[in-house]
Amino acid sequence: MKFIALSGSVLGNRQQPGVGPKTSAAVLSFSTLRGKALPVDSHHHRVAARLGLIPENLAVGPSHRVLEAQLPPGWEAQQVYDNHQVLMRLGKDTCTPRAPRCATCALLDLCNHAQARLAPATVAAG
């Protein structure tokens, strides 16, 4: 794994030919390299979109750079790793694809998606 260049920045020079951003970031973040990289899996991506951190129609690949750019520049690799783990865990356990449990979600007050989803339906007066 020494072939992966580590620049010390979140974006870094980690992209390798034929390897996507999620895999590259996962290798850096999850291995003993413990590099500063943000993997975005489908759970992380769904939560980020629902929270309005990324546009709903932004694909997983390009969402890496958008989400990485939002991280505090002074964060260490462990904090970046924790950020991914928290959002991924939230997506698996609470913010599920078909039936998010918004009523019990700690982020309910910050989530426009949930506010719209839970708002009382407006019925056109006839």
Nearer CB in complex with ligand SF4: 37/111? 111
Binding residues for ligand SF4 restricted to 91-110, rule: CB under 6 A: 94-95, 100-102, 105, 107-108
DSSP state of 3: T
Using alpha carbons, select from 17, 32, 18 the residue that is nearest to residue 81: 32
Consecutive H or E run containing 67: helix 60-70
Q: Is 67 in the site for ligand SF4 (CB under 6 A)?
A: no
Which parts of this chain interact with ligand SF4 (CB under 6 A)? 47, 50-51, 94-95, 100-102, 105, 107-108, 111, 113-114
